[in-house]
Structure 1
C-alpha cells in the first residue's frame, strides 16, 4: 500500500453551533498543520523530545493546550 508524503494534524476550537452560540466567544476555528513526513521524523519529533527532556526531565509527558497556557 502506498502512503502519502505528508502528515496532517487537524484541530478545532470554539463553538460550531450557529443558533445558540456563546456570545463571549462567537468563533469557530478549524486549523490544519501539514508537514512532510521526512521533515516530521528528522526535525519535529527530535525537537519536541528535546523540549520535553529539558523542561520535564522525561519524554512521557503529554502536552495539552490547557496546561501550556
Structure 2
C-alpha cells in the first residue's frame, strides 16, 4: 500500500505533462538544476567560511562556545 508502482509513476507523469505541457517541462527542469547548483555552491562557500573562522579561532587561542537551541 505504501509503495509506488510503475503505474503510479506513469499516471503521475501523464498528469504533469497535461498540466504543464511538454514544452514547459525541460525549461522547468533546467531552472531546477540551476537552483540546485547555486544552493550547492553557496553551501560549500558557507562551510569554507566557517572552517576558515574556526582555524583562525584555534590560532588565536579563543574558542566560541556552541550555541544552544532556544527552549
> Which TM class, normalised by the smaller chain length?
0.3 to 0.5
Q: Which has the higher contact order (CA 8 A, sep 6+)?
A: 1
Q: TM-score, normalised by structure 2?
A: 0.32
The structure in which a higher percent of residues are helix is 2
The structure in which a higher percent of residues are strand is 1
Rg (Cα) greater in structure: 2
